[in-house]
Amino acid sequence: MPAATDTGLRAFVRALPKVELHVHLVGSASVETVLELARRHPEAGVPAERADLEEFFTFRDFDHFLKVYWAVQSMLTDRHDIHTLVTGLAADLAAQNARYAEVTVTPYNHLLDGMPGDELLEGLATGRAEAAARHGVDLAWCFDIPGEKGVRAGRETLVFALRERPDGLVSFGLGGPEIGVGRAQFAPFFTAAREAGLRSVPHAGETSGPATIWSAVHDLGAERIGHGTSCASDPRLLDHLAAHGIALEVCPTSNVRTRQVESVAAHPIRRMLDHGLVVTLNTDDPPMFGATLNGEYLAVAGTLGLRYAEIAQLAGNAVRASFLGDGRKAELLAEIDQTLAGEREK
Ligand SMILES: [Zn+2]
């Protein structure tokens, strides 16, 4: 196999079929999508001209990111807005050669903003159907609790998830700030969600230490950890995650943007890989952080000097750690193998 030239590496990453396991629906809104929403909702005061919007969208700091995020959230009022958001995400995923994504939706925030639950569900359903038919991207949903809104949000998210149980709902999550928002208080909701067959995928160890990850594992039965960055400072936790195959949804650009790490080079991803953890690469809130899925693979491959087989291994990890059925997993893994074999024959 030839050494990875820049062009060769780009083509290889592009050609790999990929799976995205950590992307927030609201945070996935691209400039294109937000232009459409801003024109539909002039009262929101979001720039409706491309140049102005691009400037507004450019990442400055975390506070500005929150401003952009909540501005997008404020324009989501009905099924059409949700549909626009979902199909916009599907088009962006297709452009990254992503075939499947588990997308985090925060129903409590939409309901709190006054959107009827049926509107949310209808927009998700029609958007998901169009994503598959028009873009060839299969979408699944993770309904997550906005942790900062407390146990009430936990209860209502659970009730909504189990009562509605929309097609494609596979998992139950927990997001928002970690410091001062203990994971354990949400344990009863995760227990009930798991008993109903939803998989547990809380954020933990993104903005706080390894104790939060331990709590996510012990109290919430986490099967995957959102971020998990701080696990690297706890050898016992590294052992535990490796032994139990608890995958990490690593989002390198997001971690740099939110200043949890200095740079991709300073990210503990090397340590995670060396310890045998199931590392997957993801984008979190891609356009708002200036990230793309292919970009994450390129950044990590370039920084760590990964070989093609190791890059393919990362893509395979995301397939294996996903909640796809075994048949679909096997198909995607075979395609990844073929892409790698094609590279070897060059
Ligand atoms: Zn996240």
199 three-state secondary structure: strand
Compute, in angstroms, the gap from residue 250 CA to the centroid of ligand 1: 10
Mean pLDDT score of the chain: 96
Question: Annotated catalytic residue: which of 102, 206, 296, 343?
Answer: 206
Q: What does the pLDDT read at residue 4?
A: 53
Q: What does the pLDDT read at residue 53?
A: 94
Compute, in angstroms, the gap from residue 13 CA to the centroid of ligand 1: 23
pLDDT, tens digit (0-9, with 9 covering 90-100), for 113-134 = 999 999 999 999 999 999 999 9
% of the chain exceeding 90 in pLDDT: 95
Q: What does the pLDDT read at residue 346?
A: 74
183, 220, 190: which is closest to 205 by C-alpha?
A: 183
pLDDT, tens digit (0-9, with 9 covering 90-100), for 298-339 = 999 999 999 999 999 999 999 999 999 999 999 999 999 999
Residue 203 main-chain phi, psi, to 5 deg = -70, 145
pLDDT higher than threshold 60 for residue 286: yes
Q: What does the pLDDT read at residue 3?
A: 46
Compute, in angstroms, the gap from residue 328 CA to the centroid of ligand 1: 25
Q: How many residues are listed for the chain in this entry?
A: 346
281 forms beta bridges with 250
pTM recorded for the entire structure:
0.96
pLDDT, tens digit (0-9, with 9 covering 90-100), for 140-185 = 999 999 999 999 999 999 999 999 999 999 999 999 999 999 999 9
Compute, in angstroms, the gap from residue 10 CA to the centroid of ligand 1: 26
Residue 223 annotated among the catalytic residues of the structure: no
| Cα gap 5→1, rounded to integer Å | 11
Q: What does the pLDDT read at residue 1?
A: 46
- Distance linking the first and last C-alpha atoms of the chain: 7
Domains of the chain: 6-345 (3.20.20.140)
Compute, in angstroms, the gap from residue 2 CA to the centroid of ligand 1: 36
